[in-house]
Amino acid sequence: MLDAMENRQVVRKSKLKRSFKQWLRGGGLRQVAAAALLLAVLIFVPSQYQVAYATNANQPTSPSLSCDDWGIVMSFTPPTSQAVDNYEYSISTTQVSSEPTSWTALSPVDATSPVDISWDTLHLPNGVLHYFYLRAVFHDGTKSLSWYQIVNGGSTTTNHASCSVKGSSATETVPYKPILLVATAGSGSASIAFTQVSPGTRQGVTNYKYSLDGVNYTALSPADTSSPVTIPSLTPGVTYTIYLKAVNSVGDSVASSSVNVVPVSGPPTVTSISPTSGTTAGGTSVTITGTNFIAGATVTIGGSTCTSVVIVSSTSITCTTPSGTAGPRDVVVATGVSPNATLTGGFTYVAPPAAPATPDLATASDSGSSSTDDITSDNTPTISVGSATNGNTVTVTATKSGQTNVTCTFTATAQTGCDLGTLVDGVWSVTAKQTNSGIDSAETSALSITVDATPPTVTSFSSTKSNGTYGIGTTVNITATLSEAVADGASITVTLDTGDTVVLTKATSTTLTGTYTVGTGDNSADLTVTSYVLTSAPTDTAGNAMTSTSVPTGANNIAGAQAIVIDTTAPTLSSAAANTAGTQVTLTFNESINSTTAVAGDFVVTVGITTLTVSAIAVSG
């Protein structure tokens, strides 16, 4: 910053002769004014909005509504991005103009489309037009918006599903048809599971009828009023299309949708199991292949019951193995049709190998100031694993929150470790396991390693020197702040805009400091660091040495944050003029002079050969 050229007048009582060799120069003061405004915003959330609604994209869509003497059926496309636990409905006698606020949950719970509600449940007056709206209740407790306004990309559609009430709470009707039929083949029979929405009367459903052609119906005998029902006397190997009707004291329901089934013949058989081996701890998912598998079939392995049994078809069963002892064990499938099917020694239990030793960061990869701190600049580090059995496959896995797991494997022989793929900077948890015959050991305890492949940098230059103008002999401290902690012995040499150089050495783990002493001829309008070199390159804990010599700018350098002026050039006299009485003279200088330090004794006035006494001075302008 340059001193402004201003005219200054000095009044003298006698004529003056210019005889100044030096002038005690004072410093100008840069004054900086700043104002800051803090705006606080109070966000208030009304209590009625404290339900965490899911996004519009999770709404039930494509709504349609049908009504009959029994009640209403609402069909729609369910949400797919979250698990639905139930649905809620809202009823209005007029079309709504905003999201409804009053909702009733389906009871019993129904999480599938369509949903059915009887007039007996709704208790609505006959002949009155009502509008119906539906929304989803998700497993995480949130609820969707209803189908009133469905958002699809950038477009919004408004939906009002309505019908006039055709029944009443006092009217007893035929049952609603059975829905959601699922058929399971039996031995010369079929088991039909279904959902009965409403019985139509307070007395309930008294029986069901079935049809093999959709025209002729036969009542179950003896009567059966609960799901599933058994259709008897079917021919094995023949495909049947079966319909159901519900029966009550008023009459029969309309026919259900059809379901196909092929009854089996005779007892089950087992031909294979896959995989053929698994851990003694259990938990292996297996698929059993055979014939004549039916609903209710059970599976045992080595005399213990399989869990999560699913009858995929008459020829396939999946289940999860129980725990067992090492060795081959019999696989038995029982359907209730004798005899049971046995695959002798079909599944072999294998004891899992012991977990290997906790992984370790190989010495060659443990860079930096310590070879035991598990801090490394190697982002593809070598991990050593001990106590693995020769021939077993060892898998090393590195995990970090928000990152994809990184793995490497090796066969335990002479090799004791492997190189992980590229790891981003940060803390990683590393575990290992060994595998024998497809059976995994337990995972080891975790090794925590810190990957730091980023060299330190200078983030700012600063000084604690007050703003102001300084001359020869003044000391100004310079501090370099680093991006991370560095080892002892670090130093850099900075060049200031005065042309001077200053060596900065380590002061704290993240700072380097040095002192600049103002010398003759030094001048700076706004002191700043213009460049630096690495005298002894700062090195971080991981061993990364500083390489960048990029100079911070703006508020991160001295000139951007402070106003330190270096001025070692004395002011010079530009002109002198005396008044007509010869009692005072006005002197004009090339820059501001310090009015507080300029005194009369600093001046010598000579007229001819006579030296006059300066009795007083005044600085103005």
pLDDT given at position 34: 29
Three-point CA angle 212, 213, 217, nearest 5°: 65
Based on the fold, state whether residues 337 and 379 are members of the same structural domain.
no
- Do 206 and 160 belong together in one domain? no
Tell me what pLDDT residue 554 has: 96
Question: CA 176 to CA 193: how far, in whole Å?
Answer: 16
Domain boundary among 447, 474, 501: 447
The beta strands (E) that lie in 483-593 are given as 491-496, 501-508, 511-517, 523-524, 529-536, 564-567, 573-578, 585-589
Asked if residue 508 and residue 591 are part of one domain, the reply reads no
Confidence band, pLDDT 50/70/90 cuts, at residue 35: very low
Of 388, 413, 447, the domain-final residue: 447
Peptide bond into 571 cis (omega under 30): no
437 and 511 in a single domain? The answer is no
Q: Tell me whether residue 170 is in a domain.
A: no
3-state helix, strand, coil in the chain (%, to 5): 5, 40, 55
Tokens of 89: 């409905």
**Within a domain: residue 532?**
yes
Tokens encoding 438:
């497809």
Residues 575 and 562 reside in one and the same domain = no
Looking at the predicted structure, is the pLDDT value of residue 400 above 70? yes
| Contact assessment for residue 6 and residue 592, using Cβ atoms and an 8 Å cutoff | yes
Give the separation between CA 475 and CA 517, rounded to whole angstroms. 4
Instruction: Output the domain CATH number for residue 472.
Output: 2.60.40
Q: What is the tens place of the pLDDT at every residue in 218-266? A: 999 999 999 999 999 998 878 999 999 999 988 999 999 999 998 877 8
Would you say the pTM of this structure is higher than 0.85? no
Q: 166 pLDDT exceeds 80?
A: no
Whether residue 554 is found in the same domain as residue 471 = yes
| β-bridge mates for residue 530, sequence order | none
Q: How confident is the model at residue 30 (pLDDT cuts 50, 70, 90)?
A: very low
Q: Is residue 210 part of a domain?
A: yes
- Amino acid 371: pLDDT: 82
HEC letters along 32-70: CCCCCCCCCCCCCCCHHHCCCCCCHHHCCEEEEEEECCC
209/300 same-domain check: no
Q: What amino acid occupies position 15?
A: K
Q: How confident is the model at residue 147 (pLDDT cuts 50, 70, 90)?
A: confident
Could you tell me if residue 34 is inside a domain?
A: no
pLDDT at 125: 82
Q: What per-residue confidence (pLDDT) applies to 372?
A: 86
Name, of 31-45, 76-90, 363-377, 476-490, the range with top average pLDDT: 476-490
- Give yes or no for a contact between 287 and 347, defined as CB atoms under 8 angstroms apart: no
More confident residue, 582 or 131: 131
**Residue 55: band (very low, low, confident or very high) from pLDDT cuts 50, 70, 90:** low
CA dist., res. 179 & res. 194, Å (int): 6
pLDDT for 446 equals: 97
- Whether residue 579 lies inside any domain: the answer is yes
Locus of tokens 């019993």: 108
Cβ-based neighbours of 236, under 8 Å, separated by 6 or more: 187, 188, 263, 264, 265, 266
pLDDT band at 39 (very low <50, low <70, confident <90, very high): very low
- Give the pLDDT confidence score for residue 377 in this predicted structure: 93
- The H or E element spanning position 309 is strand 307-313
CB 183 within 8 A of CB 191: yes
81 with 59: CB under 8 angstroms? no
In this structure, are residues 188 and 222 in contact, taking their beta carbons and an 8 Å threshold?
no
Residue for token pair 């300029």: 598
* Residue position matching structure tokens 């993240």: 510
- pLDDT for the residue numbered 4: 31
DSSP-assigned states of every residue in 242-259: EEEEEE-SS-BPPPPPPE
* Strand 341-350 to 277-279 pairing: parallel
Structure-model confidence comparison of residues 169 and 491, the more confident one? 491
Average pLDDT, integer, range 543-553? 96
Name the range with the highest mean pLDDT among 137-141, 283-287, 349-353. Answer: 283-287
pLDDT (tens digit, 9 = 90+) per residue, 92-101? 999 988 889 9
Structural domain includes residue 452 = no
**How would residue 171 be classed by pLDDT, with cut points 50, 70 and 90?**
low
What token pair was written down for 502? 């200053």
Between 267 and 503, whose confidence is greater?
503
Report the pLDDT value the prediction gives residue 9, as an integer from 0 to 100.
33
* Whether pLDDT at 615 is above 80: no
Supply the mean pLDDT for the chain. 84
* Whether 327 and 288 share a structural domain: yes
pLDDT digits (tens, 9 = 90+) for 295-352: 789 999 999 999 999 999 989 999 999 999 999 999 999 987 779 999 999 999 999 9
Q: pLDDT (tens digit, 9 = 90+) per residue, 574-587?
A: 887 777 776 777 77
What confidence category does residue 57 fall into, taking pLDDT thresholds of 50, 70 and 90?
Answer: low
Of 542, 547, 545, give the one whose Cα is nearest residue 379. 542
Q: How many CA atoms lie within 13 A of 369 on its CB side?
A: 10
Residues 420, 494, single domain; the answer is no
- Residue 461, judged by CB atoms within 10 A of its CB (0-12, 13-18, 19+), counts as buried
Same domain, 463 and 540: yes
Q: Are residues 279 and 244 in the same domain?
A: no
Domain that residue 11 falls in: 1-25+570-621
Question: Taking Cα atoms as reference points, which of 508, 546, 548, 552 lies closest to residue 529?
Answer: 552
C-alpha to C-alpha distance for 554 and 511, rounded to whole angstroms: 19
Percent of the chain surpassing pLDDT 70: 87
Residue of 579 and 454 predicted with greater confidence = 454
Three-state secondary-structure class, residue 601: helix
pLDDT at 140 over 70: yes
DSSP label of 540: B
Lowest-pLDDT range of 101-105, 428-432, 535-539, 615-619? 615-619
pLDDT given for residue 21 in this prediction: 33
Predicted local distance difference test score (pLDDT) of residue 406? 97
The predicted structure's pLDDT at residue 54: 61
Residue 43 is assigned to a structural domain of this protein: no
Of 457, 401, 394, residue with least CA distance to 431: 394
CA dihedral of residues 173, 179, 185, 189 (deg, nearest 10): 10
CA proximity to 266, closest of 163, 336, 348, 196: 336
> Which residues are within 8 A (CB) of 226 and not within 5 positions of it... i.e. 6 or more apart?
none
pLDDT of residue 153: 58
Whether 262 contacts 240, CB under 8 Å:
yes
Residue 163: its pLDDT value, please? 84
- Structure tokens, 349: 């239990």
Same domain, 594 and 542: no
Q: Tell me which of 230, 261, 292 is where a domain ends.
A: 261
State how many domains the chain has. Answer: 6
Q: What is the pLDDT of residues 62-116, one digit of tens each?
A: 888 888 777 788 888 898 878 899 999 999 999 988 889 999 999 888 888 888 8
Confidence of residue 56 (pLDDT cuts 50, 70, 90): low
CATH number of residue 199's parent domain:
2.60.40.10
In a domain, 198, yes or no: yes
Return the residue matching tokens 């200088």: 589
Average pLDDT of 163-180?
75
State residue 592's pLDDT score. Answer: 73
What pLDDT is stored for residue 587 in this prediction? 78
The closest of 536, 540, 494, 502 to 519, measured between CA atoms, is 502
Minimum mean pLDDT range among 260-269, 281-290, 399-408:
260-269
Confidence at residue 174, expressed as pLDDT on a 0 to 100 scale: 86
Query: pLDDT value at position 46?
Result: 33
Share of the chain above pLDDT 90, in %: 57
Q: Are strands 316-320 and 285-291 parallel, antiparallel or unpaired?
A: antiparallel
